[in-house]
Amino acid sequence: MTLPPDLDAFFVANDARLRDELFDLLRIPSVSARSEHNADTARAAQWVADNLSNAGLRATVHPTAGHPIVVGEWRGAGASAPTVLVYGHYDVQPAEPLDLWDSPPFEPAIRDGKLFARGSVDDKGQLFIHMKALEAHLKVRGTLPVNVLVVAEGEEEVGSDHLAGFIEAHRDELTCDAVVISDSAMFAPGLPSILSSLRGLAYFQIDVTGPTTDLHSGSYGGAVVNPAMALARILATMHDANGRVAIPGFYDKVRDWGEKARRDIRALPFDDERFRAETGAPILGGETGYSTLERIWMRPTCEVNGLLSGYTGEGAKTVLPSKAMAKVSCRLVPDQDPREIERLMQAHVARVAPDGITVTVTALHGGRPWRAELDGPLYDAGRRALAAAFGKEPVITGEGGSIPVVGDFERILGAPVLLMGFGLPGENAHAPNEWISMDNVTRGLRAVAVLYEELGNR
Ligand code: BES
Ligand code: ZN
């Protein structure tokens, strides 16, 4: 299908207004992890609701014990037409460290076709694409070929604590035939992509305590077990020499993806050296026997995310620390279960912990992995819409990151999920100088607008 001229004309005529609106949304520092930004997060929720109302949807802001969930609804296509649920998140990651940004994170700026701002690609820009594609249909044609629900949450970046419960509680109102999400990246510039897998997550804090206070490392060192060394020893037991996670039972539920999946991955245009250069790491490393993409998409991990103990200031201070702490997260693959991984982690740490310290493992948050067979009309519609907007057939890719709610939607609502991301590799999500390609915004608007036409043709 080609781009419908009337919708295309709407995007062209409204280009400046749309950019101003996206800038307005990006200016709101809706950092879900920081309570001092709670009012901003609430303001972003209201902004999304108001904007959906202006587009012609009925929008409601639902308070939760955390940040609000916005639901937009348009049911003008009638009971016999399919219903599509669009999900996105209006919360963002903290912007720190601020001094590494070339322009302030909440003052959107376009340089070189890139729109820089915290949340530009993850996920406000991508949510905005969906909101405006719906608006185009409703403003230009006064109707949509399908019924639409929009669910925008404000806790994705902190684990989506209240979303699954919300979907359960509103399962009847949220009943739908398909879920569409743009919160991921394309495989490469100009190469539209549909995701077929996401990893899950099990995130832990490990606290080691030894003496009741910090001690003089000369007067006590050698006679009192050092919590920092004990933690290092615990962490060192988590992998074997082949880069495999050495927590007993860790791989019991890991599914083998089979030769076809590995062949499909090999067929993608991927260059190890370019990937390495992007990271700045001296060499790539991981589990023996798997390629880089296989390691990221189909193998689970256990990684230290943060470490804290003792004296870390300037110069030397001779001290034996009383405490040590590590943040450790496991990315999970089908059919690993975050709660089971938690039990295995607890048992493992208890077993390997040296005498002379106490250690606790606290589970912080988690989410299930997801993998789908991309069969059926939803994926055909997605493929055609992306091909129309980007002039190229989409590739099927995997992802190492997590969107825990994807599995919840599938499980609770029984609907297939289409993940079509408009980000690009290297867009600095969660990092300083996050950006989204303006060309991808332009094409994304067209792709989603066409997607509705395609879904209506079902
Ligand atoms: N948009 C990302 C998910 C993602 C990451 C998609 C990388 C594609 C590539 C999402 O906002 C995110 O960061 N998710 C968290 C989930 C966690 C907080 C439960 C993640 O993956 O760390
Ligand atoms: Zn994110």
Query: Does residue 123 share a domain with residue 209?
Result: no
Query: Does residue 380 share a domain with residue 343?
Result: no
Q: What is the residue with the minimal CA distance to atom 1 of ligand 1? A: 183
Query: Does residue 161 share a domain with residue 186?
Result: yes
Residues annotated as part of the active site: 91, 156
Q: What is the pLDDT of residues 186-222, one digit of tens each?
A: 999 999 999 999 999 999 999 999 999 999 999 999 9
Ligand 1 site-directed mutation target among 402, 434, 436, most atoms within 8 Å of CB: 402
Please indicate whether residue 399, judged by its CB atom, sits closer than 6 Å to ligand 1.
yes
Over 70: is that where the pLDDT of 51 sits? yes
Over 70: is that where the pLDDT of 458 sits? no
Query: Which DSSP helix (H) or strand (E) runs through 193?
Result: strand 193-195
Query: Does residue 150 share a domain with residue 82?
Result: yes
Average pLDDT of 216-233?
98
Q: What is the pLDDT of residues 237-291, one digit of tens each?
A: 999 999 999 999 999 999 999 999 999 999 999 999 999 998 999 999 999 999 9
Q: What is the pLDDT of residues 417-435, one digit of tens each?
A: 999 999 999 999 999 999 9
State in Å: Cα 141 to ligand 1 middle.
35
> Of 168, 128, 172, whose CA–CA distance to 150 is shortest?
128
Percentage, residues of the chain above pLDDT 90? 98
User: Which of these three, 293, 314, 342, is where a domain ends?
Assistant: 293
Structure tokens at 140: 């230009």
Domain with residue 234: its CATH number is 3.30.70.360
Query: Does residue 400 share a domain with residue 321?
Result: no
- Closest ligand 1 atom, CA of 185? 8
Expressed as residue numbers, the domain containing 99 is: 5-198+369-457
The CA distance from 28 to 59, in Å, is 19
Q: Are strands 417-420 and 178-181 parallel, antiparallel or unpaired?
A: parallel
Average pLDDT of 85-106?
98
Residue 399's pLDDT is what?
96
Please indicate whether residue 401, judged by its CB atom, sits closer than 6 Å to ligand 1.
yes
Q: What is the residue with the minimal CA distance to atom 17 of ligand 1? A: 159
> Of 184, 64, 167, whose CA–CA distance to 407 is shortest?
167
Percentage, residues of the chain above pLDDT 70? 100
Query: Does residue 243 share a domain with residue 181?
Result: no
Over 70: is that where the pLDDT of 1 sits? no
User: Which of these three, 337, 367, 397, is where a domain ends?
Assistant: 367
CB count, 10 Å around CB of 305?
A: 11
Residue 202's pLDDT is what?
97
Domain with residue 73: its CATH number is 3.40.630.10
Residue 94's pLDDT band, with cuts at 50, 70 and 90, is very high
Q: How distant, in Å, are the alpha carbons of 11, 92, 146 from that of 330?
A: 42, 22, 39
Count of domains forming the chain? 3
Residue 116's pLDDT band, with cuts at 50, 70 and 90, is very high
The CA distance from 375 to 369, in Å, is 19
Q: What is the residue with the minimal CA distance to atom 8 of ligand 1? A: 184
Residue 373's pLDDT is what?
86
Query: Does residue 211 share a domain with residue 265?
Result: no
Query: Does residue 156 share a domain with residue 34?
Result: yes
Query: Which DSSP helix (H) or strand (E) runs through 148?
Result: strand 147-153
Query: Does residue 64 share a domain with residue 175?
Result: yes
Q: What is the pLDDT of residues 358-417, one digit of tens each?
A: 999 999 989 999 999 899 999 999 999 999 999 999 999 999 999 999 999 999 999 999
Query: Does residue 358 share a domain with residue 305?
Result: yes
pTM, to two decimals: 0.93
> Of 330, 326, 361, whose CA–CA distance to 346 is shortest?
361
User: Can you tell me which residue has the tokens 């009309």?
Assistant: 377
**Which CB contacts under 8 angstroms, 24+ apart, belong to 426-429?**
426/278, 427/120, 427/121, 427/122, 427/185, 429/93, 429/121, 429/122, 429/185
Residue 456's pLDDT is what?
86
State in Å: Cα 183 to ligand 2 middle.
8
User: Which of these three, 319, 348, 367, is where a domain ends?
Assistant: 367
Residue 2's pLDDT band, with cuts at 50, 70 and 90, is confident
Query: Does residue 134 share a domain with residue 49?
Result: yes
Query: Does residue 275 share a domain with residue 357?
Result: no
Average pLDDT of 124-132?
98
State in Å: Cα 275 to ligand 2 middle.
20
State in Å: Cα 157 to ligand 2 middle.
5
